[in-house]
Structure 1
Amino acid sequence: MRIALFGYGKMGKMIEQIALSRGHEIAARIDENTGQIDFGAMDVAIDFSMPNAAYNNISTCLNNNIPVISGTTGWLDRYDDAVSLCNKNNGAFIYASNFSLGVNIFFELNNYLAKMMQNLPEYKVSIEEIHHTQKLDAPSGTAITLAEGIIENSDYGQWKLDEDTQGTIPITAKRIGQTPGTHTIDYTNNIDSIEIKHTAHNREGFALGAVTAAEWIVGKKGVFSMRDVLNLG
């Protein structure tokens, strides 16, 4: 499989290593200074670029009939536009706030726990996420996905960063050293606490998940998620 990498930072280089180890070819390494792109040389694109470049990368791929996997966060105000463009072009697209296989299992656990806690309003939920100091957006896309999962399965109406009000899920975002990513969901009352937590030990899980998604999407049409890739539906 011929993979084009949009964004060639730390994640792009890790994805390259994983892809090569699985027998794939890197057809292009594209950053903001790259000139003309040969879309005929690629089978699928993986985008881990900057937030201000992500939508342009995704739309360019879809307009050139290239399936695209995006793990860039911070651009989701244009997500619906990307979905519409994919459907218009009969293309293939996956966005995930986190491609780690373990995190996507964690998403399912989070949703299930939220359903169980729905009728226990005495427990107050909160989210904490910790990432490396180079991470540009806060809260993380993964924390937002976790909050949205709780909202969909409970009576909470919204999430807010560093703000704890009635009906709101407070998210605390910390930036510490080289932390790859830690996410904690905590339900607490004055008697006890229930906590679930995912800790990434390195970036390899994110890269493996992205390559797995790229392998899965080739030959398919539509807008998908990691739940489809992992057959969690």
Structure 2
Amino acid sequence: MRILLIGYGKMGKTIEQLAQSKGYEVVGRISHSNAQELQNYTSANTDVAIEFTHPASAFENISYCLQSGIPIVSGSTGWLEKYEQAKELCRKYKGAFFYASNFSVGVNLFFHFNEYIASKMKDYQSYDVQIREVHHLQKVDKPSGTGITAAEGILASYKDLSGWVSDNPEEKTKLNIASEREPDVVGTHIVTYHSEVDTIELSHIAHSRSGFAEGALMAAAWLQGRAGVYGMKDMLNL
């Protein structure tokens, strides 16, 4: 499998190491300093692109790959206001697009359990629900894409909440996502149901980036030969 890495930060380098250990070929490494070189890659020399960049560049990268016939796996967050446009481009060019806010298998099981717990807890109004996410200081977007995905899983059951809000626990009509940035934290997400008598928590704590890299490579391999828009639920059959 010939992989183009779009984004060569901590995640890109972790994916590269793991890909090479599995015998995959990394055909290119695109970063901010050589962004113009993306134009050199097509479906003729690339089997799949794995994209982890910034909110400002993610949609442009995804668009280029879809229009060039390159299947793309993206884990960039903070750009999802253009997600429907990306899906439309995928349909238009009969491409292959795999998006996840988090590629960790454990996190996606966390999402699955989160939805199930919310479907049960909605009937117990004495419990207030909120999400807390903690990441490293370099994390640009706030709240995290993983935190937003967890919120959406809860809101599917909590019809009395009108959406989510960032760092505003006093807004009782919305689900609060509290964000913290600390040194050397890979990623922690905690869903808390609190009442006067007890507290129930569901948490996921990442110990390294290797779980995210492993999931992204799994998605890249799974996407081969497919067309359409996919996510972790499709790959993991959740």
- Relative to the length of structure 2, the TM-score reads 0.95
Question: Where do residues 132-211 of structure 1 align in structure 2 (5 Å cutoff)?
Answer: 132-155=136-159, 156-164=161-169, 165-211=171-217
Q: Deviations over 1:162-191 (max 9, x none)?
A: 112223111110000010000000001111
* 1:108 equivalent among 88, 105, 112: 112
Which one-letter code corresponds to 1:25 in the other structure? E
**What is the alpha-carbon distance in structure 1 between the residues aligned to residue 47 and residue 33 of structure 2?**
22
**What is the alpha-carbon distance in structure 1 between the residues aligned to residue 91 and residue 69 of structure 2?**
11
Q: Report what 1:8 is aligned to.
A: 8
**What is the alpha-carbon distance in structure 2 between the residues aligned to residue 87 and residue 54 of structure 1?**
18
Which one-letter code corresponds to 2:41 in the other structure? D
Which one-letter code corresponds to 1:29 in the other structure? R
Q: Deviations over 1:129-188 (max 9, x none)?
A: 000001001000000000011001222221111112223111110000010000000001
Question: Where do residues 1-233 of structure 1 align in structure 2 (5 Å cutoff)?
Answer: 1-34=1-34, 35=37, 36-39=39-42, 40-155=44-159, 156-164=161-169, 165-232=171-238
**What is the alpha-carbon distance in structure 2 between the residues aligned to residue 41 and residue 167 of structure 1?**
51
Between the aligned residues of both structures, percent identity stands at 49
The runs of 5 or more residues in structure 1 that have no matched partner are none
Which one-letter code corresponds to 2:65 in the other structure? C
**What is the alpha-carbon distance in structure 2 between the residues aligned to residue 114 and residue 38 of structure 1?**
44
Q: Deviations over 1:193-229 (max 9, x none)?
A: 1101000001110111000000000100110110111
SS at match of 2:40: coil
Aligned residues: 232
Please, what is the CA RMSD of the aligned residues? 0.9
- Relative to the length of structure 1, the TM-score reads 0.97
**What is the alpha-carbon distance in structure 1 between the residues aligned to residue 106 and residue 175 of structure 2?**
23
The runs of 5 or more residues in structure 2 that have no matched partner are none
SS at match of 2:66: helix
